[in-house]
Amino acid sequence: EAQVTQNPRYLITVTGKKLTVTCSQNMNHEYMSWYRQDPGLGLRQIYYSMNVEVTDKGDVPEGYKVSRKEKRNFPLILESPSPNQTSLYFCASSLSLGLALSEQFFGPGTRLTVL
């Protein structure tokens, strides 16, 4: 089944404790992206990657890191989480069609709480 998987689905942690949220897709998509969803703010893009070893900042990259060493994986790293990073996080992937993209397929989301 074609899908985007994220782990963990739920995470409660404390300020300053490094964490990684994994994202993996099995559709051979070139483009992958991370978003955070907060009430009243919609989805905001954190980082995106057009292909392996290529990453770009989205609208809200501060406090996050990503890497794209393999096409299928795009982990999101919070080196020193803070309470303002409490949010619902979505990973997504899409196929590159030349310069354009197909629709994005989203993972199920990761609910992160930072105390």
Partner 1 sequence: AQKVTQAQTEISVVEKEDVTLDCVYETRDTTYYLFWYKQPPSGELVFLIRRNSFDEQNEISGRYSWNFQKSTSSFNFTITASQVVDSAVYFCALSEVNTGNQFYFGTGTSLTVIP
State yes or no: residue 43 binds partner 1 (CB under 8 A). Answer: yes
Q: What is the DSSP letter of 73?
A: B
Separation of alpha carbons 7 and 61, rounded Å:
20
CB of 43: closest distance to partner 1 in angstroms? Answer: 4
**Cα Rg of the chain, angstroms:** 13
Separation of alpha carbons 93 and 48, rounded Å:
9
Query: In terms of CB distance, is 27 or 88 closer to partner 1?
Result: 88
Part in contact with partner 1 (CB under 8 A); list of ranges 11-19, 20-28, 66-74, 96-104: 96-104
CB of 6: closest distance to partner 1 in angstroms? Answer: 11
- The 70-89 contact track toward partner 1, x by CB under 8 A, reads ------------------x-
Cis peptide before 75 (omega within 30 of 0): no
- Token pair listed for 83: 């309470």
CB of 99: closest distance to partner 1 in angstroms? Answer: 5
- Token pair listed for 24: 């993996």
The dihedral through the CA atoms of 102, 5, 91, 69 has a sign that is: negative
CB of 56: closest distance to partner 1 in angstroms? Answer: 6
The residues of the shown chain that bind partner 1, judged by CB under 8 A, are 31, 33, 35, 40-45, 48, 50, 56, 58-59, 88, 90, 92, 99-106, 108-109
